Amino acid sequence: MSFTRLGAVGYLNARPLVYGLEDDPSRFALRFDVPSTCAELLHAGTIDLGMIPAIELFARPDYAIVPGASIASEGPVASVAVYTDRPTGSIRSIAVDNSSRTSVALLKVLCAERFGISPTFSTFAPNLATMLAACDAALIIGDLALFTDHEAAGLRKIDLGEEWTAMAGLPFVWAFWAGRVSAAPPDVIAALNEARDRGVAASDALAREYVRNDPTRVPLAMRYLREHIQYGLGPRCRSGLQRYYQLAAAHGIVPAPAEPRFHQAEEASGSA
């Protein structure tokens, strides 16, 4: 069997995709990082497969996507959002989280295609107070976005997953396993999809464990994994991914899109 170094996203939403993989150290070495770091480690060859932001597929033409598993949403995602205290049309500057390039690219597409604004973008470490002190709005992703009480802070929350689906009528694929073609033989693909299935079935337990130090967060964490995040990579998700790439290219964010390559044919692709 293959031995594979995996780089996974450290947020709650990725836990179902890696469920049980740490129990087999003879087959997998697993580390957790923010999405942008997962991509950097994969580009450097430090890991064999990374749970990379969708936009990173353009960084290396030799990458292929592992079929079957992704972090996706259709409708509100809850964990990728712009926070502001003003109407969307009045936003002139946005501080963006440096943790994920896919979310930043999506925000630029939405600004042009849906919101009708042309703000400036500045990159920050994810700290909402600091970001809003510098700009009209702030893009935050991951656990910080999920657990921020925007109403208590007097802020509006613009959910990018919700805005994408309202505009495109399709799911949005935030991240997937990818790497060089040789990095995902059939046994590895099968193991990753088996982990996905186990993790989805155990999502409530994973949510409780993840927020065990703050029991008040358990209901939200459980609802998030059940209702907001999808883990397949079926035809609708692929259509959403292709549409995202088309729009990102149309606005000069990435080169002209090519059809994404996959490590293996459709049988492992999931149903979403």
Residues 196 and 153 in one domain: no
Specify whether the CB–CB gap between 230 and 200 falls below 8 A.
no
- Give dist(CA 6, CA 247) in Å, integer: 30
Is 228 domain-assigned?
A: yes
Strands of 34-92, DSSP E:
49-53, 63-73, 80-84
Which residues, given as ranges, of the chain have pLDDT below 70?
1, 258, 265-272
Number of folded domains that form the chain: 2
pLDDT for 258 equals 67
- The residue from 124, 142, 168 where one domain ends is 168
pTM of the model: 0.93
Domain hosting residue 64, numbered range: 4-72+172-232+254-268
Do 66 and 184 share a structural domain? yes
Q: Is residue 114 included in any domain, yes or no? A: yes
pLDDT at 269: 42
Residue 140 sits in the same domain as residue 177? no
Number of helices (H) and strands (E) in the chain: give both, helices first. Answer: 9, 10
Q: Are residues 54 and 184 in the same domain?
A: yes
For residue 66, the domain's CATH number is 3.40.190.10
142 in the same domain as 87: yes
CB-based contacts of 150-155 (< 8 A; 24+ apart in sequence): 150/81, 150/83, 153/83, 153/128, 154/85, 155/83, 155/84, 155/85
Same domain, 262 and 177: yes
Q: Give a yes or no: residue 259 inside a domain.
A: yes
| Residue 1, pLDDT score | 65
